[in-house]
Chain A
Amino acid sequence: MPSGSEAVRLTEVSRQSGIHFRHEVDIGQFLAGRDDGHLTKWFESISASVSVVDINGDGWPDIFFPSQKPSAKSRLYINNRDGTFREAAEEYGLADLDGPTRVAFFDCDNSGKPAALVFNHQSAVLYTRGSRGKYRVHQILDTGSGEFTGGVNVLDLNGDGLLDVVVADSGLADLPNSMVDSDGGKSVEAFRGVGGCHFVRDDSILPANKPSHTHAIGVGDLRGRARQDLWIASDFGDDKVFLDEGGKYRDGSDRIGRTLSNTGMTAEIAHLEPFKNPVVFVGHAYQPGYFVGGNALWTYENGRFIDAARRLGVDRCGWTWGAKFADLNNDGLLDLVSINGFISRTSSGAPEGYWFKFATIVSGPRFLSGQSSEWPPFLAQSRFTEPQRGCVFMNTGSGFVDVAEQIDFDPHRHEGRGLAVIDFMNDGRLGLVAANQDQPPDLYRNDTPRRGGWIGFKLVGIKSNRDAIGAAVSLTLDDGRVLRRDNYPFNGYASQSDERIHFGLGRRRPTKVSIRWPSGIQESFAAPAPGRYYTVVEGHGPTKEAR
């Protein structure tokens, strides 16, 4: 079975692909004179995100990068179908979005045209396509005060065929006053789609929940009950899990086991063999001498969420932000990629020492650690450590092996944040795109030699939401194995991934495809020939090849 560095090759090609974007930051207007050096460093360390969307419907995924600096341009890169991109943000009216931090593209009215839900640090604005093809303001969502964008996900919460939105700001308007039990943050909120691309806040869907500094919201069938449970990854406080009880949610956080990493930055979810239920990968900092817990990999067993990260070898990888599962070498096993980055925002020439000073500060009482005015002034000019390399955990079938160094992944040691999966060559070899804080992005082309087969599906809902978000696809192989992928492109951290369902096959052939649509409709059909993407319309099987 192919695995390890010899089996995967990721080449960073952003510039040669025509991507010349650089993420920029300016939050002076939000701080209103409160900036004492620490606030900027902390608050504005989380805005680099990336969205992969087929915005023109040509079957080739495009890329959108928001830039948080209000005067800077966000960039939309249209796929030229030859490995290069052309910039078209102005053409689509997406260049000037007033300090965007996260952008979720989805079909809110099942029209076939994705709307853009744009978050900045203070509000959420829904843009829809006008008659001339440009995006224009459609609705401003009532997200309350809005305090620094955190987790966002899109799904059909109530099964009515319209997509809904769950959002939880990181609530960093004031500094967290405890490393493990901060009083600050914001509660998770639900916005229900009511048709015509309008959303209303609905506090009856989610349970009342304590505010938290949320970074990511993951969706998955965590208990194997054909439900859409929510994992809330929060920093400075415990993660939460909301269990879907048929459109209504209850707090199931007491089922989360105990580890040193009950907090985190990422909520990436996937079906991983041999686990019966999907696993939740929650990224966390790992720094010898200070934070030794590292990442968590939660799996639901016997009514409890158990951390299996250490057992599988994915617990240690610096300060993990964006992370995605993807079968990079098409061997039928999901691999895991994470990108790292500190929150230094300081040149590498600055002295180290942030860890020690920071640890000293948070050793005190919360009324002191929550006041940055009591922090040493020179701390803001310190950096945590040298830039870190991300991790490429290759799945060996019995665990994971990090091959990042062998394959020279993350050659620029950028401060990674959002990470998305994208097959921009449409060749079945999954690439990656990383949004980096205050830095240019990275685009990884997958140049892995063809070792295994693959097959992919673009799902189109009819009774379900058109994006088929929430669909579960099972692929039976000729050896009896059943692979499973769920369509939640907003999982992970600060990213939207290629919405197409992708299966690596190894040397096996697929025999049967089964789809459980969000509407509840189940359909099965004989697997078509591998090596292509197929469009599957709800209730009609694979109607045509996507390319």
Chain B
Amino acid sequence: MSPSVTFAVPTWKDVRIWLALVYGVFVFHALTFVGFGRTWPQLLASVAAGGFFDFVFNKWKYDRWIFPMSGMLSAVGPFLMIDSVRLGYFVLIAFLAVGSKFFFRWNGRHVFNPNTFGMLVAAIAFSGGMTPNPDRWGGSFEWTLIVFVSGAAIAWKADRWATAVSYYWSFFVGCLIRSAITGAPVLVYAGVMIGPMFQLICFFLITDPKTSPRDRRWQVAFGAAVALLDNLFRFYEMRLSIYIALSAATLLYAVVDNYTGDARASDPWREKELTLAYDA
């Protein structure tokens, strides 16, 4: 039996093309704004590692040759979100992120958002060498708007806008509750919602179509669940709250999906050309 050979070159219909353009803008900012602290070697290491592991794992597990655009795009997320002076951590996260797609699977799809998984595991294991850092955007409201608009468009295109809206409102409600409990101004907690990192998380992690619900009702529930867990972990000052919350929610959704078949309704996970989904 000869191995299947699938080498799909992305087209303009591919969401990932638009995602790449959006990422390009973010990357340009990260490389030119000194306070961001990012370097070309970090970008190259991230993208090369993401592509390499995606390519190798596809060949090894499915015996197919692919243009590893998903892996390369996946790696841009950690490049933007992770602080580290060691290139090895960017490579490690790419390995964990891409690897999670191949090793943590259930019902024919991967369970965790790859980047969330990669960053979370690495941040727990190597907290002294790397950490997600929202400060690098400098509190820029302009960049909040840019990330928000572009992210909202991507979420709309991926049909995951209900997840984003749900997360937004649920998170705000959680902030109100925390404020009521502690007596602190609500903006102490809700202020993060006006930061660029929040938009990145909301539109480029939580709404990942491969690991979030397809059905609208489940999208709302999923967004609310992530926000609930995120608020709960923040209340107890857990450092990696959103990453833990999202990982827990995706795992929970995998269990739900096992019974509802929500994600498999349109079988998006088994499309041979892998052109629909993005993993950032």
Contacts and interface: CB of A to CB of B under 8 A. Distances in A.
Interface residues of A, number: 44
Contacts of A359: 134-135
Interface stretch (B19-27, B56-64, B183-191): B183-191
Contacts of A373: 185
Interface of B: 33-39, 83-86, 123, 127-131, 133-136, 138-141, 144, 182-185, 187-189, 191-195, 197-198, 234, 237, 239
A180 B185 contact: no
Nearest to B136: A180
A258 B38 contact: yes
A375 B37 contact: no
A316 B134 CA distance: 21
Contacts of B134: 359, 362-363
A289 B88 CA distance: 17
Contacts of A259: 37, 85
A374 B127 contact: no
Contacts of B187: 364, 368, 374
Contact of A262 (B34, B192, B195): B34
Interface string A367-408: 111100111111000000000000000000000000000000
- Nearest 8 pairs between A and B by C-beta? A180-B35, A364-B191, A366-B139, A376-B184, A181-B138, A179-B135, A288-B128, A363-B134
A366 B85 CA distance: 26
A292 B128 CA distance: 6
A238 B183 CA distance: 35
24 contacts: A179-B135, A259-B37, A260-B83, A260-B85, A288-B131, A289-B127, A289-B239, A292-B131, A293-B37, A294-B85, A310-B85, A353-B237, A359-B135, A360-B189, A363-B135, A363-B191, A363-B195, A363-B198, A364-B193, A365-B191, A366-B141, A368-B187, A374-B188, A376-B188
A365 B35 contact: no
Nearest to A289: B127
Contacts of A310: 85-86
Given A258-B34, A262-B35, A364 B139 contact: yes
A367 B191 CA distance: 10
B63 to A, nearest CB: 39
Interface of A: 177-181, 237-238, 256, 258-262, 288-294, 310, 315-316, 353, 356-357, 359-370, 373-378
Contacts of B127: 288-289
Contacts of B38: 258
Contacts of A366: 138-141
B30 to A, nearest CB: 10
A365 B194 contact: yes
Contacts of B37: 180, 258-262, 293
B191 A357 contact: no
Given A237-B35, A292-B129, A367 B141 contact: yes
B128 A361 contact: no
Given A180-B36, A289-B127, A375-B188, A360 B139 contact: no
